Amino acid sequence: MSQAIEFLVPRESVLSRRAAIIADLADLLPPECLVHEPRGLAPFETDAFISYRRVPLAVALPRTTTQVAAVLKYCNRYDIPVVPRGAGTSLSGGAIPQEDAVVLCLSKMTRILEVDYANRAATLQAGVTNLSISEAVGIDGFFYAPDPSSQLACTIGGNIGMNSGGAHCLKYGVTTNNLLGVKLVLIDGTVIDLGGKHLDAAGYDLLGLVCGSEGQLGVVTEATVRLIAKPEGVRPVLFGFETCEEAGACVTDIIAAGIIPVAIEFMDKAAIEICEAFAKAGYPLDVGALLIVEVEGSEAEMDAMLASIVEIAGRHGVKTVRQCQSATEAALIWKGRKSAFGATGRIADYICMDGTVPLGKLSYVLNRTSEIVESFGLRVANVFHAGDGNMHPLILFNANDPIEAANAEAAGNEILKLCVEAGGCLTGEHGVGIEKRDLMRYQYSQADLAQQMEVRAAFDEKWLLNPSKVFPLDGRA
Amino acid sequence: MQTSFTPEQLADPQIAESEKILRRCVHCGFCTATCPTYVTLGNELDSPRGRIYLIKEMLENDRPADEETVTHIDRCLSCLSCVSTCPSGVDYMHLVDHARAHIEKTYRRPLSDRLIRSLLAKILPYPARFRTALTLARLGRPLVPLFGRVPALAPLAAMLALVPKAAGRRASRSVPETPGTGSQKRGRVAILSGCAQSVLDPGINAATHRLLARFGVEVVVAPGEGCCGALVHHMGREDEALEFARRNVDAWIGEMDTNGLDAIIVTASGCGTTIKDYGRMLRLDPLYAEKAGRVSALARDISEYLSTLDLPVLEPRRLSVAYHSACSLQHGQKITTLPKNLLKAAGFTVREPAEGHLCCGSAGTYNILQPEISGQLKARKVRNIEATKADVIAAGNIGCMTQIASGTAIPILHTVELLDWAYGGPEPVKLAKG
Ligand code: SF4
Ligand code: SF4
């Protein structure tokens, strides 16, 4: 089947030397750290953007920064593309390999190296999962704030690559706002340290540049992140509305009133049903749209903020307001929300969009999204970070039907264009990857892109790092 | 995810079912995070998602299993943690069952592997053989270090190292207590006497008999029952597994249709998961499908059954219990809180070790066949349990009990032994000693 998104043509010079390359890699890595059997390579051919697949040349599973450096240096020397990978949970295809690439998968680098409460910082190997940071420091009253839905599985290295967000980013910011330093291995094997335990560094903000660079500037092997003290209390509250418009308008007004809860999450009817079926969280099933609003602080602070939110919701005809009664209930509410994408698999295959729009346009974009998806004869479920205007329409389709699959992709493109036209952008937190690469032209002029590509080339002159991603294939220097 | 099977392939009901399972997987990767082998080895191929992919390729291409695929499927503990985690409801359990059967049919294992597997399959399910083997094994214990050094013999070393030092007393299965005087008869149940547990620790079912009798429940052993078949089932030896299943179905249906049964009580949760699956295992057997379904519907873990009896709440006692949640209970049967609630009601202070979702590495014969990974998981489990500083460990599965006991000095008991004691039974020997 021909697919819309193209990959770079594999380099014959690499493919023809496959055996030699594998033999060389075997000298650099212990046997259990190298996958090269065709059977073993297939499971690495994709990530969570599963409609695209390319079997890589080999997979390196290094345990140390030194091994990462050795592999990169080798690949640079022989012009072999390298695709970095963490847990392979990217929804934009950020970790999808290509036939001539060595996958550099950091899943064996899972040690928490240092927890420094005095400086409110933790240093971790890049393969540590997002959630395990909070788990490790939770008992001492701290947590790591960015919380992508896949936080159970996704790695901090991947989070840095994509500058990932999450439900709680409304208050605490995304990865870049919580990252203090990294150890970065450049394509020639040089190891550099950026940042440290302090908030700002002298000189250029290279750390900010690396965060969100989708593995194209180097490979992060260690990260130092900010730890935040847990608030006194947290309370998620469910607000059910008759229609998506009402819920959307309510979000707009909450933010316009200058109220910043920790999270405002939105689910439409389809999403509510999907999540309830999995998590049994007690979401109201008789509403057309649901907001999960989480507030935190002292009891008095939470009460005060909730009172203002309830008042605003009242103006938008809120149907049900349910305060959650226990920690278990709160955990279920979030479990349902965070499993939304996976749980959708119970009813259909899906692709998940990630556009961001100005809050004033929320209702309009939601409406248009439904129209677009319906015009392709498909269904949509919406579950997203409303407070940030970060939309996640899930386009439902049947992956075994090539026409539906192509339509889903086309509908997705229309939706992302809509986001840009509405004054927003292509990606809130999932990254460009391969999925949104060709749409970058809607967002940026050629001059904008050229400047970004020059920065990229300054780090990786030969474009070996994750080369098929982020920048449209034509128009590269 | 997308699959590519031909209509001819899909005509095979097993393939058709596996295809449905595969279609549900959206490759989100959530399951990797809670898979004990992925957490230990850090390789996608040793994760549920990786295994699903390997199985998909093998089945789609209708090819014999190959070494690479077998290596990674063999490393799967069948702990089903992935099933608990998967938001999409992927039925990994039955997919891997299918894969194991396919491997058994199409792959020739190296000689040493074949020998050890058939040895296990010919001994463990049969209490008399197992008892003899244990006696011999105790004599063989000094050979452990020697065997351990030869890779092909590592499973043998692991097997010998697991043998409990003290002989299990012969089960007193022929003298169940009669329902306690003064209490009304509240039910009639059959108990699985099974295989390995009756040899390794007959005290478990003895405690169950006493406890149930005290609360007015008549306990019987259906003539003819035996090993549930889980052991060979997890080795992919499907025909043997189904034979065990049929024999037990016959035994229990006989009892149900004559004297009547309220439940079939299982005190080894590994077996419970399999018995609850008899209905599915025998679904393609027209003679047994319906009967097997009835048996599965009546199967209860002991903690489930006890929870229906409304046992009285007792005064708190000083003993703290670290509750180890057997995978077959928490993931296989989704029983998570019942045993803890029972222990609490009986007055114990219950502590929950960190990483409770991770397998202890026992997993049937896994600790024998995969000693290295099993050993790492055991060490991790013991570390987490010991961190609770509990006086005693409770678990609902004999496999876990043997495994954990071989790594810690804290006494480990079956939940039902603690409950029997609390509700008037004798103090468990392991505690009296300690
Ligand atoms: S969690 Fe479920 S849907 Fe996601 S990869 Fe694992 S099995 Fe597939
Ligand atoms: S059953 Fe256990 S070991 Fe096997 S894939 Fe699932 S989580 Fe991993």
The CATH number of the domain where A70 resides is what?
3.30.43.10
Q: Where do runs of H (alpha helix) occur along B34-77?
A: 36-41, 48-60, 67-74
User: What distance in Å separates the CA atoms of residue B331 and residue B343, rounded to the nearest whole number?
Assistant: 20
Sheet-wide strand order for A233-241: A320-323, A233-241, A289-297, A263-268, A379-385, A393-397, A349-352
Of A152, A399, A400, the CB nearest to B30: A152
pLDDT band at residue B199 under the 50/70/90 scheme: confident
What per-residue string of b and e applies to A163-177 under the rule 16 or more CB within 10 Å gives b?
bbbbbbbbbbebbbe
Q: Is the CB of B66 less than 8 angstroms away from the CB of A278? A: no
Listed residues A170, A198, A229: the one ending a domain: A229
In a domain, A402, yes or no: yes
Burial class (CB in 10 A: 0-12, 13-18, 19+), B180: middle
Tokens of A81: 């593309």
User: What distance in Å separates the CA atoms of residue A76 and residue A354, rounded to the nearest whole number?
Assistant: 33
Alpha carbon dihedral B67, B71, B72, B78, in 10-degree steps, equals 130
In a domain, A41, yes or no: yes
Query: Which run of H or E residues covers position A316?
Result: none
In a domain, A329, yes or no: yes
User: What distance in Å separates the CA atoms of residue A93 and residue A334, rounded to the nearest whole number?
Assistant: 25
Q: Is the CB of residue A95 less than 8 Å from the CB of residue A206?
A: no
The CATH number of the domain where A249 resides is what?
3.30.70.2190
- CATH class of segment(s) B320-433: alpha beta
Question: Residues with Cβ within 6 A of ligand 2?
Answer: B 35-37, 48, 51, 76-82, 92
In angstroms, how far is the first alpha carbon of chain B from the final one?
54
CA A472 vs CA A10, A442, B420: distances in Å? 16, 11, 70
Tokens of B382: 């013991």
Atom of ligand 2 nearest to the CA of B77: 3
Question: Scanning every residue of chain A, which has its alpha carbon at the shortest distance from the alpha carbon of B66?
Answer: A39
Tokens of A169: 């980013």
Portion 141-180 of A in contact with B at CB < 8 A: 150, 152-154
The distance of Cα B85 from the centroid of its chain, to the nearest Å, equals 19
CA B362 vs CA B55, B114, B241, B381, B406: distances in Å? 24, 20, 20, 11, 11
pLDDT band at residue B170 under the 50/70/90 scheme: very low
Q: Is the CB of B28 less than 8 angstroms away from the CB of A345? A: yes
For residue A46, the distance in angstroms to the closest alpha carbon of chain B comes to 9
Burial class (CB in 10 A: 0-12, 13-18, 19+), A17: middle
pLDDT given at position A387: 87
Same domain for A117 and A225: yes
Q: Is the CB of residue B279 less than 8 Å from the CB of residue B293?
A: yes
pLDDT band at residue B433 under the 50/70/90 scheme: low
Residue nearest to atom 2 of ligand 1 (CA): B86
Question: Scanning every residue of chain A, which has its alpha carbon at the shortest distance from the alpha carbon of B65?
Answer: A39
Q: Is the CB of B26 less than 8 angstroms away from the CB of A44? A: no
Asked if residue B174 has pLDDT above 50, the reply is: no
- The closest of A319, A397, A431 to A92, measured between CA atoms, is A431
The CATH number of the domain where A203 resides is what?
3.30.465.10
On whether any CB of chain B is under 8 Å from the CB of A347, the answer is no
Same domain for A427 and A414: yes
3-state secondary structure at position B331? helix
Same domain for A221 and A116: yes
Q: Is the CB of A343 less than 8 angstroms away from the CB of B32? A: no
Same domain for A215 and A124: yes
Calculate helix-pair angle for A269-279, A327-338, nearest 10 degrees: 120
Same domain for A120 and A224: yes
User: What distance in Å separates the CA atoms of residue B164 and residue B202, rounded to the nearest whole number?
Assistant: 13
Tokens 């706002």, residue located:
A177
Domain count along chain A: 4
Calculate helix-pair angle for A299-315, A244-256, nearest 10 degrees: 130
Asked if residue B266 has pLDDT above 50, the reply is: yes
**CB under 8 Å to A200, separation ≥6 — which residues?**
none
In a domain, A456, yes or no: no
Of A46, A105, A107, the CB nearest to B27: A46
Same domain for A335 and A242: yes
Chain A to chain B Cβ contacts (< 8 Å): 119
User: What distance in Å separates the CA atoms of residue B132 and residue B401, rounded to the nearest whole number?
Assistant: 21
- The closest of B140, B126, B156, B158 to B232, measured between CA atoms, is B126
In a domain, A165, yes or no: yes
Asked if residue B175 has pLDDT above 60, the reply is: no
For residue A374, the distance in angstroms to the closest alpha carbon of chain B comes to 22
The distance of Cα A104 from the centroid of its chain, to the nearest Å, equals 19
Q: Which CATH number describes the domain made up of B187-306? A: 1.20.1050
Same domain for A140 and A81: no
In a domain, A146, yes or no: yes
Atom of ligand 2 nearest to the CA of B83: 6
Tokens 């896949």, residue located:
A150
Which residues in chain B are contacts of A341 at CB distance < 8 A?
26, 28, 87
Q: Is the CB of B43 less than 8 angstroms away from the CB of A47? A: no
Residue-number span of the structural domain to which A355 is assigned: 348-438
For residue B119, the distance in angstroms to the closest alpha carbon of chain A comes to 29
Tokens 């080895």, residue located:
B41
pLDDT given at position B180: 52
Q: Is the CB of residue A401 less than 8 Å from the CB of residue A391?
A: no
pLDDT tens digits, residue range B15-54? 999 999 999 999 999 999 999 999 999 999 999 999 999 9
The pLDDT tens digits along chain A (477 residues) read 457 899 999 999 999 999 999 999 999 999 999 999 999 999 999 999 999 999 999 999 999 999 999 999 999 999 999 999 999 999 999 999 999 999 999 999 999 999 999 999 999 999 999 999 999 999 999 999 999 999 999 999 999 999 999 988 889 999 999 999 999 999 999 999 999 887 667 788 999 999 999 999 999 999 999 999 999 999 999 999 999 999 999 999 999 999 999 999 999 999 999 999 888 999 999 999 999 999 999 999 999 999 999 999 999 999 999 988 888 899 999 999 988 888 999 999 999 989 899 988 888 999 999 999 999 999 999 999 998 889 899 999 999 999 999 999 999 999 999 999 999 988 888 999 999 999 999 889 999 999 999 999 999 999 999 999 999 998 786
The beta-carbon contacts of A359-362 under 8 Å, at least 24 apart in sequence, are: A359/A251, A359/A252, A359/A255, A359/A256, A359/A389, A360/A252, A361/A389, A361/A422, A361/A423, A361/A424, A362/A248, A362/A249, A362/A251, A362/A252, A362/A386, A362/A389
Same domain for A352 and A426: yes
Phi/psi at B129 (5° precision) = -65, -40
User: What distance in Å separates the CA atoms of residue B180 and residue B197, rounded to the nearest whole number?
Assistant: 26
Same domain for A361 and A333: no
Query: Which run of H or E residues covers position A218?
Result: none
Same domain for A313 and A266: yes
Same domain for A278 and A335: yes
Q: Is the CB of B50 less than 8 angstroms away from the CB of A43? A: yes
* Interface predicted TM-score (ipTM): 0.94
Residue type, A452: Q
Tokens of B12: 């095979």
Name the more confident of A170 and B179. Answer: A170
How remote is the CA of residue B330 from the centroid of ligand 2, in Å? 13
Q: Please report the DSSP string for A46-82 in residue order.
A: --SSTT-----SEEE--SSHHHHHHHHHHHHHTT--E
Same domain for A223 and A304: no
Q: Is the CB of residue B168 less than 8 Å from the CB of residue B199?
A: yes
Domain boundaries, chain B: 7-106, 113-162, 187-306, 320-433
The distance of Cα B327 from the centroid of its chain, to the nearest Å, equals 8
Question: What average pLDDT score do residues B389-400 get?
Answer: 96
pLDDT band at residue B164 under the 50/70/90 scheme: low
CA A380 vs CA A81, A287, B93: distances in Å? 36, 17, 30
How remote is the CA of residue A463 from the centroid of ligand 2, in Å? 38
In a domain, A87, yes or no: yes
Counting ligands in written order, which one lies closest to the CA of residue B38? 2
pTM (two decimals): 0.93
Residue nearest to atom 8 of ligand 2 (CA): B35
Q: Is the CB of residue B124 less than 8 Å from the CB of residue B196?
A: yes
pLDDT band at residue B172 under the 50/70/90 scheme: very low
- The closest of B130, B194, B202 to B172, measured between CA atoms, is B202
Q: Is the CB of A39 less than 8 angstroms away from the CB of B28? A: no
pLDDT band at residue B183 under the 50/70/90 scheme: low
Phi/psi at A155 (5° precision) = -100, 160
Beta bridge pairs of residue B240: none
Asked if residue B171 has pLDDT above 70, the reply is: no
In this structure, whether the domain defined by B7-106 belongs to CATH 3.90.1170.50 is answered with no
Portion 218-277 of A in contact with B at CB < 8 A: none
**CB under 8 Å to A319, separation ≥6 — which residues?**
A240, A241, A242, A284, A286, A287
Phi/psi at A34 (5° precision) = -140, 125
